A and B are shown apart, each in its own frame.
Chain A
Amino acid sequence: VQLVESGGGLVQSGRSLRLSCTASGFILADYALHWVRQAPGKGLEWVSTISWNSDFIAYADFVRGRVTSSRDNAKNSLYLELNSLRPEDTAFYYCAKGTDNYGIGTLDYWGPGTQVTVSS
């Protein structure tokens, strides 16, 4: 199982960024996927969960309305559209595979993460 994030970078406050996560080694369509972030020197923060068929998508309060999570099972990919970015969104963003297809279970495999830096 392998997950690799991409799309991070330095962006100005108020702009947008689209993160991608490419998966391999398992059947993506069978599992929920998650985004978790970690600000510099801080702990892990759950950002979003998307079920296997995209019927269930959940967001943390601090990103709701500014973020859209989506997936393309045919392309083995997960996406996170970040809009109206703020300096406090600066963090490492990890994608993770769930153990269930709905999204309330364990996050068993994680990617190495991609850095998002938002300048004011």
Chain B
Amino acid sequence: QSALTQPPSASGTPGQRVTISCSGTSANIGDNSVDWYLQLPGTAPRLLIYSTNRRPSGVPDRFSGSKSGTSASLAISGLRSEDEAEYYCATWDDSLGGHVFGTATKVTVL
């Protein structure tokens, strides 16, 4: 099952803006909305962004999502120490007939 491609790591100082990319194909990101999940060490993933750019209740507006063609992005503005985590993009793949996840990006706050 092919995964979506994310950079393995991203970092920034407190207050900075960090952007994570997620690259796919016309069968997945190109044709479906994208979700983003956050996973803290030793815990289950939790939904951060859904339908490409919508935030669930309780997620601060420092987190935003976007999509263009076969790529999506997650932006974290006003970076905070508690944002240190693994971030995954995900979507449905029409060709595979299943969900695909990104390869994960570890965000470090310097």
A residues contacting B by CB (< 8 A) are 34, 36, 43-46, 49, 58-62, 94, 99, 104-113
Asked if B88 and A106 make an inter-chain contact with CB atoms under 8 angstroms apart, the answer reads no
Interface positions of B (Cβ within 8 A of A): 1, 3, 32-33, 35, 37, 39, 43-47, 50-51, 56, 86, 88, 90, 92, 96-104
In the complex the two chains form, what is the Cα distance from A59 to B96 in whole Å?
9
CA A84 to CA B63, docked complex, whole Å = 42
Which of chain A's residues have a CB closer than 8 A to the CB of B88? Answer: 43-44
Nearest B residue (CB) for A61: B1
Chain B residues within 8 Å of A36, by CB: 45, 99, 101
Q: How close is B12's CB to chain A, nearest CB, in angstroms?
A: 22
Known: A34-B99, A46-B100, A107-B47. 12 other contacts (CB 8 A): A43-B86, A44-B37, A44-B45, A44-B90, A44-B101, A45-B101, A105-B92, A106-B33, A106-B50, A107-B90, A112-B44, A113-B44
Task: Find chain A residues with CB under 8 A from B43 CB.
Answer: 112
A106 nearest in chain B by CB position: B50
Minimum CB–CB distance for A13 against chain B, Å:
22
Contacts of A105 in B (CB 8 A): 92
- Closest chain B residue, CB of each to CB of A113: B44
Q: Nearest-CB distance from B107 to chain A (Å)?
A: 14
Chain B nearest Cβ from A46, distance in angstroms: 4
B99 contacts which chain A residues (CB < 8 A)? 34, 36, 46, 49, 104, 107
**C-alpha spacing A60/B44, complex, angstroms:** 20
Query: Which residues of B have CB within 8 Å of A60?
Result: 1, 98
